Each structure stands twice: as structure tokens, then as C-alpha cells.
Chain A
Amino acid sequence: MRLRIAGTLALAAAVGMGWAPPAGAQLEENLGALSGDNAKGYLGPLPKALSGTLNTSIFQTGFVPRSGFTMTVGARLMGMTFDDEDRTYSPKDPPGFTSTESVRAPTIIGPTQAVLQNGQSGTVLYHPSGFDIEEFAAATTQVTIGSVLGTRAVVRWLSVNFTDDDIGKFTLFGIGAQHSISQYFSNLPVDLAAGAFYQTFDVGDDLVQSKALQLNVTASKAYNWLQPYVGVGYDQLDMEAHYASSTGGGTIDVDFDTETSAHFTVGAQAKLAVVHLYGEANLAATNGFAVGLSFGNGF
């Protein structure tokens, strides 16, 4: 397990150091041929995927000291698996094209073959292929600092700029806090804390912009070096896309419906001296897993 985590974190680090996946450049090209409605369908799986990953792996403990200095610095890796039904969507006719048949077109995660749709008087319209992605993972660094009045701050951040490949940049920033509920009760059997976390995740300068919010209550109990925990929360994600149209010029702005869902977490964290290792499973907008490694004092 440790080797697996080390491997994935090394991969995340490699990406962070500029090992660029050039798929992002093609994403903007694929979007350029799509109307706003069809871009919404093409990118349809993203809001759930982003909600299911960004709103994950934030809080791993319900224990927040009332006072004193605690700090952890580490990396998180969150992943989820897409459903087969997310691989295609039903496109709508863009202005100028009148279809004579209905088709299922690939979404961004769909098959790598474009789909041809026949239209009036011998016209055709090609719908771009997807990237054939079955899983989605996001990595970030996260820092926690406490405690004042039983409250700790949580910050996560990752910025990668793929200038050589004309992808633009990926930027993730999150900030929030976790407040001890246990401090108000003398005989709770577990440590209990409430948390709130706000994040922004942008692809390119403004190709895809998303904002996520999680409200959460985490319960945990330390058994020597092992601390299991469960969390219950509410997730929200807003996403919009902006891209240049390749037919007709101008910029197309697409606002996606707000994605909301309940969030349940079950996990365990191991503390070996100053090393923290954790793994968790999440039931949320999408179901996924997360692992992480951090260094610091306190759980």
C-alpha cells in the first residue's frame, strides 16, 4: 500500500514538475466546434467528477485541540470511476444544421471515435470523440494549522503551468476551517468537529472554472497509532466553461447546473511519529477513494 501511494504521489509530482499531458490542448479544440448546448453535454461528466474528487479528502479527523500549535503538511490524491452512462450524450442541432437522425455522441470521457450525424440535403456534422477515460484523479498539497478556540485552518493548493504544450494552467486553491464540537461536551465517546471548505479549480485561463463548497461533520477516535473516522457532509459544485467558437467566431459561455449531493466518508488514518498515512472511501456525487501522506504533529 505504501509503495502504491508513493508511486502515485511520485506521478503527481512528475506532473507538477511539468511532465505535460497534452490532452488539454485538444480539449479546447474539441469544444470550439461545439455549440454551447453540446459543450454542456460533452463536458457533462465533469461537474460530478469534480464534485466527487475536490470535495473529498479534506478532513481526516474530528479531533481539533482547543489550543496549542499543530501543523501538518502533505499531499492528497483523490480518484473516482466514471459510470458507463456518462460516456455519451444526445447532441442538439446547432444553428445552421438540421439533423435527419438522432445519435449518441461521445462525452469528454467517451470513446475515441468521432460520431457522424446526417443532416438535411446531404449535410453532415461530426461530433468530437472523447478521451476514453474511465477514472478521474486529482492531486493536491494540503496544510493544516491550529488551534485557536478549537479551530484549525485548512489550505490546499496546486498550480501547474504547461506552457510548452499550450495547455495553459491547472490551478486548485482551497481554504476552510474545522471547529471542534467535542470541546462543548464533556463526555462524548468520539472526537467531533464541524468543517467548511471552499475551493476553486480552473483549467486554462478561463476554459473551465469551478467552485466547490463542502460542509462536513467528522467523527473520529484514536486507538494508539490508528484513528478511524467517518464523515457526513454536503457538497456543492458550480462550473462554467468559456471557449472560442470555430464557427461564427466569438466566445461561447456555458454555465452548468449546480451540482449538490450528500457526502459520506469512511476512513482510517495511521500516525507513525510525525508521518500520517490515511485512506478513505467516499459516497458522494460520484463514489471514490482517496489516500494521502502528510507530516506534522497531532492527528
Chain B
Amino acid sequence: MRAHRMLLAAALAAIVLLPSTSCVLAPEIKDKIIELALGASHTAAFVSQGSVNNINETRTIDLAVDIDLPGLLDDAGVDISDVKDIRMSGAKYRVKRLDPTPDRRIVNGTVTAQRGTGPVTAIVTNFSEDVNSVTSFKTAPLDAAGVALINQILADLLTALKAGQQPTNMSITYTLTGQSTPSAPTDFEWELQLDVTIVGTVKVTVVQ
């Protein structure tokens, strides 16, 4: 008899509770504007071969081509006019191919960036790294002046694309300098990756 009462109470509880489910169980379709955050990266690879002690390698890259912002936005379904900001979010580096010399190490490493024929600006400063093993990405110590330079190029890129113009002066020359120890010709590959963060709005339809 007690079980009967319990189950009748359960039925009553269900009848009382269910009308309050109108929100949960009556989904609506709503259009919303959300802010999509996208990431992109820009990589400069260096091959260091034959240098003894003093390393000085350069790489010139077209940032607009390397990032391909229109393609990125197209894939994400974001119109260029809806992009609110694009900035540098960080940098990381890794050894892609190890140096065969035991205990090979790069010290006093610096990477500078030069936009076109503009001033040479430090972007990564004072790093050291063992290069006789392949590594995963490590966060690079950044210089504020270099970050400001990249942010300016990114802002110019966005401005040009929003205006429907071809971006100009997007070429950056990166130079890696440093010393290697022990003294012997180097033979390794190393890459620097600059990460970019982009935010833009997109309209979505959500069933909730």
C-alpha cells in the first residue's frame, strides 16, 4: 500500500513539475551574433649550415601571403567587414632537424624583423636552445617593439582588405643571429612561428 501511495505521489509530482518545463522542452530557433576568435600562424624557417660560432641567417616572407586572411575568413564564414581586430598573440620556436654535433647549443639568440626597407626591429631576444635534439614548440621571449611592428603590419593588412585594396609592403625579413657552441660548423633546421589572433562577428542560428 505504501508503494502505491509513493507512485501516486510520483505521478502527482510529475504532473506538477512538467508544466514548468515549457522553456526546456519547447526549443526555439534564434538568430544570434557571436564573436568568433580565429587563429593563424606565420612561420619563418631557418637552415643553419656551415656557420662557425656566429650565426646569421635571414628569411624574407610576405605576411599577407603566409597568413592568407581572406582564405581563412572564407573558411570560417566571416565577412572581412565583420572582422573587429587582428593582432599578434605570441611566438614560439622549435628545432625541426637536430644538429649532429653533441652538446650543440645556440646562445644569445636574437631574431629581428624588418618591414620592407624599414628599420630593423628586435622581435625575439636573448634566447638559448640546445639544438642537438628535435624539440616541440617553446614560447619565445618577445620584444615589445617587434610585437608593435607586427601588429602594425596586421592592422595595415586588415585596413587594405576592408577597403578592397591589395595590401602593400607586407614583406618581412627575419634575421636570426647568435653564437653556437662548441666551435664547429652548424647543421640544423629551426623555425619561428608567430601566432595571430583574429576576432570577428558571425551570425548563427541556434536551436535552444
Q: Which residues of A contact B (CB under 8 A)?
A: 1, 4-5, 7-8, 11-12, 15, 19-23, 25-26, 29-30, 32-33, 77, 79-81, 93-98, 112-114, 116, 119-137, 189-190, 219-221, 223, 226, 228-230, 245-249, 266-268, 279-281, 288-291
Would you call B47 an interface residue if the criterion is a C-beta within 8 Å of the partner chain's C-beta atoms? no
- Do A134 and B27 form a contact, CB below 8 Å, given A96-B193, A123-B147, A229-B7? no
Q: 10 smallest A-B Cβ distances: which pairs?
A: A228-B11, A79-B24, A96-B90, A33-B39, A96-B92, A114-B35, A97-B90, A128-B37, A289-B21, A268-B11
Q: Are B208 and A136 touching (Cβ within 8 A)?
A: yes
- Do A126 and B198 form a contact, CB below 8 Å, given A95-B139, A119-B90, A131-B204? yes
A190 to B3 CA separation, bound complex (whole angstroms): 7
Q: Beta-carbon contacts of B6-46 to A below 8 Å, as 1s and 0s?
A: 11111101110111111111110100111111111100000
List 7 additional A-B contacts (Cβ < 8 Å) besides A21-B207, A95-B92. Answer: A26-B77, A96-B137, A121-B147, A130-B34, A248-B195, A249-B41, A266-B13
Majority SS at the chain A contact face:
mixed
Q: Beta-carbon contacts of B187-208 to A below 8 Å, as 1s and 0s?
A: 0000001011111001011111
Would you call B126 an interface residue if the criterion is a C-beta within 8 Å of the partner chain's C-beta atoms? no
Instruction: Collect the chain A residues with CB atoms within 8 Å of residue B2's CB.
Output: 189
Enumerate 15 A-B pairs (CB-CB under 8 Å) in ascending A order: A21-B205, A23-B204, A26-B34, A26-B36, A30-B37, A112-B33, A136-B208, A137-B27, A137-B207, A189-B3, A246-B40, A248-B193, A267-B10, A289-B20, A290-B25
Would you call B61 an interface residue if the criterion is a C-beta within 8 Å of the partner chain's C-beta atoms? no
Instruction: Collect the chain B residues with CB atoms within 8 Å of residue A268's CB.
Output: 10-11, 14-15
- Do A1 and B18 form a contact, CB below 8 Å, given A80-B24, A223-B8? yes
Q: Are A95 and B137 touching (Cβ within 8 A)?
A: yes
